[in-house]
Amino acid sequence: MIYLYEDNDYKNFLPLVYFRPGFELYCGCVTFKDKLKYFYPNEELGFLVRPLLVDLLREKYPNNLINQFSNQTKLSLFISARAVLKEKIILEDKEELFFNQNNELIGFCLRPERIKKFPINEEFIAKLPIPKRQIKALKINYLWDLIEHNSTELKSDFLNLTSLRGIGDSNSVHHHNIQGKLSPQAIIIGELKNLYVGIDAEVEADVVLDLRAGPVYIDDGAQIRSFSKLVGPVYIGKDSVIDCGYLHSGVTVGPNSRISGEVCASVFQGYINKQHYGYIGHAYIGEWVNLGAGTTNSDLKNNYSTVKVQLSGKKIDTKLLKVGTFIGDHTKTAIGTLIGTGTIIGVFCNVTEHNLKTKYLKNFYWSKAARWQLNKAITTAQVMMARRGVIMSQAYKELIAKIYRLKSN
C-alpha cells in the first residue's frame, strides 16, 4: 500500500489547496495523484492530509484510508503529495529515506507507527537515523513551480498516457490516437503522432493544431470549436470546450471548463468559466472561477526584474521573470478586470475593481475591502455548481464554513 502525504509546506500552495490536498493539483495532463499510476497502476492508495480536509476526502474517496493505516507495524511506502516520480521505487524490506538529486525528501519507507500527526513533519522524518537512497524525482515547492514545470510534464504525461492506452509507436497511429472526430478541414501543423483526440471529443473545421513544439492531448468529450488555435504542449480536460481560443504552449485545462480568448503557460484546475476575450498568462486558476469578459493579467514587469509574490504573510522572490496570477476557488472577476504581475487572489473573492492594484486579496473578499457574507457565498456557489450538474455535498458546505472562520482570513 502507498500513502500520499501532505507536509507542513502545503501553505506554499494556498489559496489553491483550501479545497483539495496538494496531490490533486495539476502539473501536466494529470494530477500528482494520478501520476503514480504510471508506476503503480494497481496499488491501493491511502491519503494523509490536514485535519481540515479529512471529512471532504472521506466523502470523495470512500474506499481509501484517510489519516488511517491498514497496519501500524508493516513497512509502507510514503510519497510526498508534491513529488513527481521519474522511476519506480523498489522497496528493500527495510526502512529508508528517498531523496532526489537536489537532496529534497521525496518519500520514505517506514512503519506507520512512527507517524504521529498530520500534516507530516518532513524535517523530523529527514533526520531519522536510517539509510538514504537517491531516486529520480521532481519536487514542486511553490505555486509558480507548477507553471514552470508544466510544459515538461505535459510532454511526459502525453507519452505515458498514450502508452497506457496502447498507442505508443504503433504503425497505425492515425487510427489509434484519433478516437473522436477530427474534421478534415482542421489544420494540422507537425506530426499526427503528437495528437490525441479522445472518445466523443471533437475538433471542428478551421481549428489550428500546432504540434511542432509539443503534443496536444484532447481528452474524452472535449470540444475544440472553429477558429481556435492550440500550440502544443497543451492538455484539454474531459468535457471542456475551447471556443475561439488561442492557447499558447504550456496550457492545462482541467475538466468541464469553458475557455475563450488568449491563454499562455497556465493551468485551469477545472469547472472554470473564461468564455470571453482577455489574456491569462503564467497563471493557476482554481475550480469554479468565473473570469468576466476582458479579464487580463500581467505576467511580466516593465523593468524585466524578477517577480515577488506575497505568500503566508511574506514577500518571496520567485527568481522568475514571468509570473502571472493565482486565483482560488469560487472567485469571480468583473468585466474588464486588470490583474497585476504576481497577484494572489483567495477563495470566494468578488473582484469588481477594474484595475486591481493590490497584490494580495484575502478569502471572501468583497469589492472595496468588505467581506462576502457566508450564507450568500454558499448560495452563489450552489447555483454555479448546479449549472454544471454538481450538487454541493454537506462536507463541502461545512468546509466552506471552516475556511470562512480561519484566523488567517
- Contacts of residue 221, Cβ cutoff 8 Å, sequence gap at least 6: 198, 199, 200, 201, 238, 239
Mean pLDDT of the chain: 95
The DSSP result for 45-100, as a single string, is EEEE--GGGHHHHHHH-TTSEES--S-SSS-EEEEETTEEESSPPPP-SS-EEEE-
Mean pLDDT of 228-238: 98
Q: For position 409, what pLDDT does the model report?
A: 65
Q: For position 180, what pLDDT does the model report?
A: 97
Percent of the chain with pLDDT over 70: 97
| Range list of β-strands (E), 190-329 | 195-197, 202-203, 208-210, 216-218, 223-224, 229-231, 234-236, 241-247, 251-253, 258-264, 267-268, 273-274, 279-281, 284-285, 290-291, 296-297, 308-311, 314-317, 325-327
Instruction: Tell me the pLDDT band of 39, cut-offs 50, 70 and 90.
Output: very high
Q: For position 173, what pLDDT does the model report?
A: 47
Q: For position 163, what pLDDT does the model report?
A: 87
15/349 Cα distance (integer angstroms): 11
**CA angle at residue 47 from 45 to 49, to 5 degrees?**
170
128/49 Cα distance (integer angstroms): 21
Mean pLDDT of 70-76: 89
3-class SS of residue 6: coil
Q: For position 175, what pLDDT does the model report?
A: 52
pLDDT higher than threshold 90 for residue 393: yes
Per the structure block, which three cell numbers stand in for 247? 492557447
Strands 332-333 and 290-291: parallel
Q: For position 170, what pLDDT does the model report?
A: 45
Q: How far is CA 276 from CA 235, 246, 279, 388, 391, in A?
A: 20, 12, 10, 18, 26
Q: For position 165, what pLDDT does the model report?
A: 76
Instruction: Tell me the pLDDT band of 168, cut-offs 50, 70 and 90.
Output: low
Q: Do 364 and 347 meet the contact criterion of CB atoms below 8 Å apart?
A: yes
Q: Do 201 and 223 meet the contact criterion of CB atoms below 8 Å apart?
A: yes
Distance of CA 203 to the CA centre of its chain: 24
Nearest to 24 by CA among 47, 1, 8: 47
Per the structure block, which three cell numbers stand in for 60? 470523495
Number of neighbouring beta carbons within 10 Å of residue 174: 12
pLDDT higher than threshold 80 for residue 176: no
Beta bridge partners of 261: 245
The DSSP result for 220-251, as a single string, is TT-EE-TT-EEESSEEE-TT-EEEEEEE-SSE
Instruction: Tell me the pLDDT band of 124, cut-offs 50, 70 and 90.
Output: very high
